[in-house]
Chains A and B, each alone.
Chain A
């Protein structure tokens, strides 16, 4: 059974259908890329899947349960974690604290336990720190644990956002343009990191404009244009798909390519 199942999902803002009748599925263990020109509805799809928007129509299920209408924190608990297109860290918290916030759903000691510093609370705090550190190590930020998030270099901030998402122990990780603004070296590192995330048992859905990253790592690709799904397939199929070429390069492009 598919991990994510979108059936005829539509998101309408007034007269605009940002996502129009999209059906797709993501299987467990896959790396799936969602691509398309700017304004195609990719981030809107992410926002529906993470509970920021509620789909206007259609169904959206994750791991057998419906996602639509749930709050972001409930969806996080179900096992979806995400990063944001423009990095959204808790910039005045340390790197470690950022990852510790990610443990929120995986810990439960209440205020009373915190005030009384019960053995249970202490155990849980220690576990929270340990788990958070483990995620920082995973993305290679353990040595920066005590630095404020906003003082980290750009690439490290991207990785911290991933670490924070991983700290929630997701089944599915959504990455919104993780390679944006990265140099080739950094995006190659990122590609390897995404590979390791998959190996660790987490399914990945990523939005990405860097085609090198996408083609290197994605098992399957979905292409959105003006809110509609125009293509689906393996990287090599997508590269040759005329509709995709038109969407990216415009009407004349296909003819030109045919001539060449």
Chain B
């Protein structure tokens, strides 16, 4: 039974399917074209990076968009995943070297990142639980500050070679292993010399497809969660915590689930990042990264999967595109290289301006979820906020006497 408010007409649905198919074809084949042309192959890598951010944004969207918890330290889970992939991946590869059967050994070594995906996801999710348990009692701004601090703690631990695990600011190399199946994929190069098309299945393309698969999985999982007992509890909790708990929603458990399930995708993104990049260092996990991921979610539209994807693609993509275009050989004759690099240096200025305009004009995001758009209509603001706070104070021993007698 369809319980959604917007009734979808048949023709509109057809249009939607057509659009989805078109997008699917683009996502799958556009990178092949880009890879085929020497001057464009750079963009395959950019697309891979964008994909990682899309995955991160989808994960954070569970926390921010669904459960309504502002997490400013999400990058910590990304870092956990990346470092886990490198540290444990190395151990895994070393252990596999002892296998005498060459075929089996090579297979296992090359599939190390596949093994690391669930491992890192679990580690990140457990980190989410460990952080969430003490911290989720806090609300709103306080939670944001504490998560921000947590993000920094993880980065600083990594910088200071925590327990001799992370090699500090030098960073660590990812395990050297040909990813599973890449060699086979590279067996058939396609070349059309007439138009300068020369396609080889590159490592970048390989990781791009891995990310796309993970994104598809994330969308699948998140949609199903949204439409479930837990998903409803999240919405209820976001709308009114007191009412939600009075009808039986366990606020703490629901928040912990959101935190753990959000962190999980951060961990997965970290594994791909570490392996695609081949190198991990604390620099990749700064506070600014967390801010960017939050921005993607907010700008795209909190709680809206298409919104978050578009938001991530734009925010991760625009600076890279500006840089790519400014420095591309096509423009080399027009713009001189120093000017080009100056332009790419200003890319965040342009981007910041876009954000300000966006938030002023369209606070609900580019593609808002229907529900969130409703919530952000200013005329709905209620006095509940204040009342919640007073209930909270009293529960925690603050002296308040003027409320709810």
Give the most central of B1, B220, B247, B384: most A CB within 10 Å: B247
A117 within 8 A of B: yes
A13 contacts which of B4, B249, B399 (Cβ < 8 Å)? B399
Known A-B contacts A13-B399, A88-B384; the reply to A93 vs B243 at CB < 8 A is: no
Asked if residues B404 and A44 are in contact (CB atoms below 8 Å), the reply is yes
Asked if residues B3 and A90 are in contact (CB atoms below 8 Å), the reply is no
Chain B residues near A39 (CB, 8 Å)?
405
Chain B residues near A128 (CB, 8 Å)?
229
Known A-B contacts A104-B233, A111-B228, A114-B231; the reply to A88 vs B405 at CB < 8 A is: no
- Stretch of B24-32, B234-242, B272-280, B309-317 lying at the A interface: B234-242
Asked if residues A52 and B242 are in contact (CB atoms below 8 Å), the reply is yes
A43 within 8 A of B: yes
- Stretch of A1-9, A142-150, A229-237, A247-255 lying at the B interface: A142-150
Chain A residues near B157 (CB, 8 Å)?
none
Interface string of B250-266 (1 = CB under 8 A from A): 11000001000100000
Asked if residues B399 and A114 are in contact (CB atoms below 8 Å), the reply is no
Interface positions, chain A 62-85, Cβ under 8 Å from B, are 71-73, 76-77, 81-82, 84
Known A-B contacts A76-B246, A88-B242, A92-B374; the reply to A114 vs B236 at CB < 8 A is: no
Known A-B contacts A73-B251, A148-B5; the reply to A111 vs B401 at CB < 8 A is: no
Chain A residue, CB-CB nearest to B233:
A104
Chain B residues near A138 (CB, 8 Å)?
none
A172 within 8 A of B: no
Asked if residues B248 and A102 are in contact (CB atoms below 8 Å), the reply is yes
Known A-B contacts A81-B247, A92-B374; the reply to A146 vs B225 at CB < 8 A is: no
A239 within 8 A of B: no
Chain B residues near A101 (CB, 8 Å)?
232-233, 235-236, 244, 247, 249
Known A-B contacts A52-B242, A52-B395, A91-B380; the reply to A147 vs B5 at CB < 8 A is: yes
Chain A residues near B186 (CB, 8 Å)?
none
Asked if residues A73 and B401 are in contact (CB atoms below 8 Å), the reply is no
Asked if residues A43 and B404 are in contact (CB atoms below 8 Å), the reply is yes
Chain B residue, CB-CB nearest to A16:
B401
A109 within 8 A of B: yes
List 4 additional A-B contacts (Cβ < 8 Å) besides A114-B224, A165-B247.
A71-B245, A107-B229, A111-B261, A115-B224
By a beta-carbon cutoff of 8 Å, the part of chain A in contact with chain B is: 13-16, 18, 39-41, 43-44, 47, 50, 52-54, 71-73, 76-77, 81-82, 84, 86, 88-94, 96-97, 100-102, 104-105, 107-111, 114-115, 117, 121, 124-125, 128-129, 145-148, 150, 164-165, 167-168, 227
10 contacts between A and B (CB under 8 A): A14-B401, A18-B405, A44-B404, A71-B245, A72-B242, A93-B235, A96-B3, A114-B228, A115-B225, A146-B4
